[in-house]
A and B are shown apart, each in its own frame.
Chain A
Amino acid sequence: GEDVEQSLFLSVREGDSSVINCTYTDSSSTYLYWYKQEPGAGLQLLTYIFSNMDMKQDQRLTVLLNKKDKHLSLRIADTQTGDSAIYFCAGRSGGSYIPTFGRGTSLIVHP
């Protein structure tokens, strides 16, 4: 099955860009997701990218997909303190509708 890996922590200064990286193992992954979890809350879908795309942009968020290296990244421009949260990468293999989640990256934004 799918295995998804991501680093556990990232610390950035307010106003800088944040880049959260993720690698996955299943080359047949059709959808790749980024979920955000704020303290004390459940996960909320931020964005997703379909496997036939290389990039997706949505306001301050940019998702890059490198299918050859099975690498996914989430860039947050002009990071704000409200972006402090845990960010989960998830992948969904072909034939399965259930995503596999990574361990989550804790993003800490300091002034």
Chain B
Amino acid sequence: NAGVTQTPKFQVLKTGQSMTLQCAQDMNHNSMYWYRQDPGMGLRLIYYSASEGTTDKGEVPNGYNVSRLNKREFSLRLESAAPSQTSVYFCASSDHPSGSDNEQFFGPGTRLTVL
């Protein structure tokens, strides 16, 4: 099992460019998440998908859109990149059965720089 995979690993964009970050999981998990990690800020939730066909905003959704393409894949799109979106982006997944510990499994991250 590959777990959670993310592409690309690194990306440099110019202000105003668009791009899509891809995420896939092979654990048959129901829930998927996108976080951003900034120095001293910890992890902040951008969007999540509780199950296939649903998406919801997290703490910092502005400037982003998501698509839950199927149960395996959850993509994050930046329509018009801004320097404030320079960050490390992590995708995660979890099984989300009720009453469980709901461990999240994380991908290796995408390091994005917006110039």
Binding site for B on A (CB under 8 A): 8, 31, 33, 40-45, 48, 50, 88, 92, 97-99, 101-104
* Bound CA–CA A45/B106 (angstroms): 9
Please determine whether A103 and B90 come into contact, CB atoms closer than 8 angstroms.
Answer: no
Interface size class of B (residues with CB under 8 A): 20 to 34
Q: Which of A92, A97, A103 contacts B40 (CB 8 A)?
A: A103
Please determine whether B45 and A98 come into contact, CB atoms closer than 8 angstroms.
Answer: yes
Please determine whether B101 and A101 come into contact, CB atoms closer than 8 angstroms.
Answer: no
Nearest A residue (CB) for B97: A97
B43 beta carbon closer than 8 Å to chain A:
yes
Known: A42-B90, A43-B104, A48-B101. A88 touches B43 (CB 8 A): yes
Could you write out 11 A-B pairs with CB less than 8 Å apart?
Answer: A41-B109, A42-B92, A43-B90, A48-B103, A97-B31, A97-B96, A98-B45, A98-B58, A102-B42, A103-B42, A104-B42
